[in-house]
Structure 1
Amino acid sequence: MSKWDDLKPRVISALVMVAVGVIVTIVGGIPFDILMLMIAVIGLRELWMMIRKRLGSPVDIMILFAYGFMIIAGCLAFAIIRNLAGPGAVFFLAGIVVVSDIAGYFAGRIFGGPKFWPRVSPKKTWSGTVAGWIGAALFGVIGMVQTGEILFPLVAALLAFAGQMGDIIESAIKRRCGVKDSADLIPGHGGILDRFDAMIGVGFVVAVQILLTQG
């Protein structure tokens, strides 16, 4: 099996999701809120289906509530950002995740090398992880040019790291539950959590920042 075998279905599914996401984000309002609600509900269901047989363990009960909270907070944060800051802010955050994911995907398969956290995510390499940070930082230059904020590349890299941690957390849950994907909903990507785990990680960090700022 070629290491590029999953590229075609991933690209096709990604293009469909991007098209839907762009349209709904531009429209905003209730359609965007409904999209975030759908992602949260489906994500929570996938989490429940993975972990339901392990709920005799206090650790797994804690995981269920903690990652369930992350899903809700992350999706809610994106809804708030769209309503307060407009579609551009959502596209910027999504762009960080997409660029980081693409850079990590290709760098990891081209360069390989030591694993980032083999016990949790066997496929994730240091080369892919660092490439994700660099890609996000370069993408952050766009925000720096538009706003004059010199910290945008650093913020973008930190948010990329938050997205990677979202992916790591989901990978750890899948390994603990003995499943390959959270579901088989999206060809080439698995379930909603498999595709949006990084977005949820970014959204959760943004949610925390919103709470701290409002406080």
Structure 2
Amino acid sequence: MAGDGHVPRTEKWGDLAVRMSSGAAMAVVGLITMWVGGLWFLGLLALLCGALVWELVRMLGGGPRRALMLAAGAGTALLAARLLPVGVGLPFILLPAIAGIGLLERNRTLYLIFTSLIVIAAYGLVVQREDFGFIWMLWLALIVIATDVFGYFAGRFLGGPKFWPRVSPKKTWSGTIAGWIAAGCVGAYFLRIPGVGPEVIGISIAISMASQIGDIGESAMKRKMGVKDSSNLIPGHGGVFDRFDGMLGASIFLLLIEQLVAFPPPVG
């Protein structure tokens, strides 16, 4: 009945089939390129960088031509940053963010912050794949996926108090905590790898929280700009930003904690 607070079943689960099929397709492409690594993985991340920046500029009110220019610049900058010698390539990581200041007429601060984070996160994923290999990239991806999937289902099955209704009306505390538990279980599974210590469970939960912060950050920006989805490029998910906001937060946080703890965390 309308007004009794009950969400109709069709509204609650209507997007599930499309969401799962497009999510599975993205997962297959991502896993294959992660496994192959090298230029294939770098190329995929360059494309994602371009798509993310294009969506960002459009959400912030930039025109299609400038959005395309800045998107192409972001993807190219990531390629240059990784393919050139490190000392020469590093300035390219921040160049797309700086370039947008001169091309955009409004919302420059949001553009500067989010574009910097996008390219830094993508660069970090390339470095992490090269340093730690496919297994630990799989671990990172599984944490982000488990946080999202278990949060999605727990939030709809269990309901309960909203996490931050003004920013993200659908997120609940039950879904948020379910994401942490799922991430901890992923970390516990990776204890099967010889030499890996129990700290991996705590790191996994922290990565899950960083993933959720990335999601919340994008939701806050969309709320400010008055848009529901970053675009309609991915059926059931909205835009590329809507799907990869969690990975941005997770990648940047992993870059930070690598400086604080031994990774992968050893026994003892």
**Taking structure 1 as the reference length, what is the TM-score of the superposition?**
0.93
> Within 2, Cα distance between the matches of 1:149 and 1:63?
39
Secondary structure in structure 2 of the residue aligned to 1:196 = helix
Query: In percent, how many aligned pairs have the same letter?
Result: 41
Q: What residue is the counterpart of 1:14 in the other structure?
A: 23
> Within 2, Cα distance between the matches of 1:212 and 1:155?
11
Count of aligned pairs: 211
Q: What residue is the counterpart of 2:176 in the other structure?
A: 129
- Residues 139-194 of structure 1 show CA distances to partners (whole Å, capped at 9, x for unaligned) of 11012232431111111011000000000000011111111100100000111100
Per-residue deviation, 1:65? 0.7
- Residues 109-164 of structure 1 show CA distances to partners (whole Å, capped at 9, x for unaligned) of 00111111111111110000000001100111012232431111111011000000
Q: Given the alignment, which residue of 131, 134, 154 partners 1:87?
A: 134
Asked whether 1:139 is paired with 2:186, we answer yes
Q: What residue is the counterpart of 2:223 in the other structure?
A: 175
Match runs of 1:1-80 below 5 Å: 1-52=10-61, 60-80=107-127
- Residues 80-105 of structure 1 show CA distances to partners (whole Å, capped at 9, x for unaligned) of 11112111111100000111111101
Q: Which amino acid aligns with 1:24?
A: T
> Within 1, Cα distance between the matches of 2:111 and 2:221?
9
Secondary structure in structure 2 of the residue aligned to 1:2 = helix
> Within 1, Cα distance between the matches of 2:135 and 2:192?
14
User: For the aligned residues, what is the CA RMSD?
Assistant: 1.7
The gaps in structure 2 that reach 5 residues or longer are 1-9, 63-103, 262-268
- Residues 39-66 of structure 1 show CA distances to partners (whole Å, capped at 9, x for unaligned) of 111101111110135x665xx3211111
Q: Which amino acid aligns with 2:11?
A: S
Q: What residue is the counterpart of 1:204 in the other structure?
A: 252
CA gap of 1:212–1:69, structure 2 versus 1, over 3 A, is: farther
Hey, which of these two has a bigger chunk of helix by percent? 1
Give the structure, 1 or 2, with the largest relative contact order (CA under 8 Å, sep 6 or more): 1
Per-residue deviation, 1:16? 0.6
Bigger Rg, which one: 2
